[in-house]
Structure 1
Amino acid sequence: MAAVTLKDVAERAGVSIKTVSNVVRDAPRVSEATRTRVMRAVQELGYRPNPSARRLRTGRSGLIALAVPDLATPYFAELAHHVRTEAAALGFTVLIEETLGDTKEELRLATGVGASLLDGVILSPLHVSPDELALVTDQFPLVLLGERSYEGDRVVADHVLIDNVAAAREATAHLAGLGRTRIAAIGVDKAGSATSRQRLEGFQQALHDAGLTYDPRLAPQIKDFDRGNGLRAMRALAQLPKGQRPDAVFCFSDLLAVGARRALHEADLTIPGDVALAGVDGSEEARYGTPSLTSVVPDKAAIASLAVKCLVDRVRAEDPPPFEVHVAPHWLEVRESSGGEREPLEP
């Protein structure tokens, strides 16, 4: 069977081809009645947009990619939802890629190699270096997410992030403000990632501000920011003699905090009575567990909006502007794990 065309849809809906094109691209200034009629014709005829044809007409396919390290991580799953929503509002479709932190895969996506239909990529890198990125970011539209692993004023691509040092400092200061004096940190990774370094820096700043001393014995090294590593690290901390055991723990991710919460339950230590607990990510998992977890909440909707807008502006620009760094908001939500009140949850 011949492929269904815009003309076919236009004839079925009784509108112009231009109107069908506007509806398919989710362009503004189309009445709801017309949009409904066109979409009914699209569904009845089984019309599917042709990215190759669109690229021939406009030089663009309308496809962008979001590449993240791990789709099983709630933070990235929630972020992907917001990116897809923001992109759809601008007439773009999002392909989701999982890099698993592989350097070669991150670099492949950063350059658009093997993805000729992509207009651009939003990439959350773990291991590709700034020097490698600097060689390719003027050749393909790219926006980076997450921590900057380079210093000074050097900017190798548009970058959207939160202030990780400030986020960690605020969470730790909250724990210190509860009167806790032996505050542990779970999230010092062996690879020395930018995320880990920055959150450790904020943690240490808050200890200093509170007149507390950083004790490396209360900062066990981990491999990944996942539940299992949080469980193992907290088990080790819980086995310390009572006078050396922490009375509060700042975890560098909510998943680490979830694992730590399980280990404290196993050790018959109460939260927050014996040990207050806080994490980072503002995940739904943090809200729905028992006790609910205090967490630093990055504004994921704002991160997605900034990233998509930056990328689309660069895709559409004839003369791309200089790269910029955009800092998205974050805030601390105090919940039961550090003395907050129980949050009423809708079923």
Structure 2
Amino acid sequence: MAATLHDVARLAGVSIKTVSNVINDYPHIRPTTREKVEEAIAELGYTPNLTARNLRSGRTGAIALALPDLSLAYFAELAAQVIHEAEAAGVVVLVEQTGADRDREMDLLRSPRLKLTDGLIFSPLGMGQEDAAALDVSYPLVLLGERIFDGPTDHVTMRNVEAAKAATEYLLRAGRRRIAVVGAHEGEVIGSAALRLQGYREALADAGIAYDDSIVGYTTLWHRANGADSMRELLARGVEFDAVFGLNDTLALGAMRVLQEAGKRVPEDVAVIGFDGLDEAEYSIPSLTTVDPGREWIAKTAVATLLERIGAGEEKPAARTLLADFRMLERESAPART
């Protein structure tokens, strides 16, 4: 038969309450007592009854994470980091993929499946600013991404404008003056593409360089193939450029492949910079210079903020916007001086 709480208490020579305090990591326990209880747990192979504990606390011990597209490396790496942070806090993560579809995102917010969890970390891509009221839900919610701002819930996000401006300024300091863009979204006002393009334009304006739409490549999605197609289109136009800013790393990698196929040397002829700090960017040939927008911090902060909301119970502190710091990762595709 499986060992019980009573068995552990008897073997350790302590009360059942003391065993419970050790299991729940109660701080005010003498080290010698904690050691005795932990030794008894190990000897008996005792496993706490999480179901019973969750029923008593009214919590499931699980959180949900909803992301647009796990085939995009950024979201896959973000999910892995969220799971890591949650596991460190003793919480499991149920992952949902919305396909960047507004209807699916709206349905998810009302889904009965969320009753299996204590809260949601949510990164919408189909919803927009006009949908902010839909985030006023009865359960703990932390928002990610750049589609909705000033909503009724905590928002953990990156400094898109500032980071994109810094990336463009980096290329300008390296002597590049005709900086093409890959990944802009036609007509977008709010979103990652629009914000990063804004930062690019601000850097050009500060340097006294006129914005030239002929060297801006527009796409719909942000996969490698889109970056490659956009670069082929730019080359076919015959426009001159000496650098490329991919609005994410996968776009930049796709564009860099096409440049090399066309006989362009990277970085001698065309410097290339990305955005996201993906793990794979370090291993491309040449390795990709990129902006790390603080993905690790975003994951850690999102989990901690959600758990704080869950722990607050019925209390609802004012919503906060929490912004990650970014850093440039200089590599071979765009050294500071060429």
Correspondence for 1:286 among 269, 276, 281? 281
Structure 1, unpaired ranges of 5+:
342-347
Measure the CA separation in 2 of the matches of 1:262 and 1:48: 53
* C-alpha spacing 1:110/1:169, structure 2 compared with 1 (3 Å): same
| Aligned position for 1:88 | 87
| Aligned position for 2:194 | 197
What SS does the corresponding residue of 1:77 show, helix, strand or coil? helix
Is the CA contact 1:147–1:195 (under 8 Å) kept in the aligned structure 2? yes
Is the CA contact 1:110–1:133 (under 8 Å) kept in the aligned structure 2? no
| Aligned position for 2:212 | 215
1:160 aligned onto 2:163? no
Following superposition, the deviation at residue 88 of structure 1 comes to: 2.6
Following superposition, the deviation at residue 79 of structure 1 comes to: 1.8
Name the TM-score, length of structure 1 as normaliser: 0.85
Deviations 1:202-228 (A, max 9, x none): 010111112211111111210111100
| Aligned position for 1:251 | 246
Measure the CA separation in 2 of the matches of 1:13 and 1:284: 48
Structure 2, unpaired ranges of 5+:
none
Is the CA contact 1:112–1:118 (under 8 Å) kept in the aligned structure 2? no
Deviations 1:96-143 (A, max 9, x none): 221111223322333453321210000111012344342442412110
Measure the CA separation in 2 of the matches of 1:102 and 1:40: 51
How many residue pairs get matched? 330
1:175 aligned onto 2:168? no
* C-alpha spacing 1:286/1:41, structure 2 compared with 1 (3 Å): farther
Following superposition, the deviation at residue 191 of structure 1 comes to: 6.8
* C-alpha spacing 1:107/1:134, structure 2 compared with 1 (3 Å): same
Following superposition, the deviation at residue 23 of structure 1 comes to: 6.7
| Aligned position for 1:224 | 221
Is the CA contact 1:9–1:38 (under 8 Å) kept in the aligned structure 2? no
Correspondence for 1:328 among 319, 324, 328? 324
Deviating more after overlay: 263-272 vs 154-163: 154-163
Measure the CA separation in 2 of the matches of 1:100 and 1:210: 39
* C-alpha spacing 1:40/1:264, structure 2 compared with 1 (3 Å): farther
| Aligned position for 1:142 | 141
* C-alpha spacing 1:235/1:277, structure 2 compared with 1 (3 Å): same
What SS does the corresponding residue of 2:296 show, helix, strand or coil? helix
Is the CA contact 1:147–1:194 (under 8 Å) kept in the aligned structure 2? yes
Correspondence for 1:275 among 251, 270, 274? 270
Is the CA contact 2:124–2:147 (under 8 Å) kept in the aligned structure 1? no
Following superposition, the deviation at residue 281 of structure 1 comes to: 0.5
1:299 aligned onto 2:294? yes
* C-alpha spacing 1:329/1:49, structure 2 compared with 1 (3 Å): farther
Question: Which residues of 2 match residues 26-65 of structure 1 at below 5 A?
Answer: 35=38, 38=41, 41-42=44-45, 47=47, 50-51=50-51, 53-65=52-64
Measure the CA separation in 1 of the matches of 2:163 and 2:202: 11
| Aligned position for 1:116 | 115
Measure the CA separation in 1 of the matches of 2:336 and 2:88: 37
Deviations 1:164-183 (A, max 9, x none): 00010000111111111111
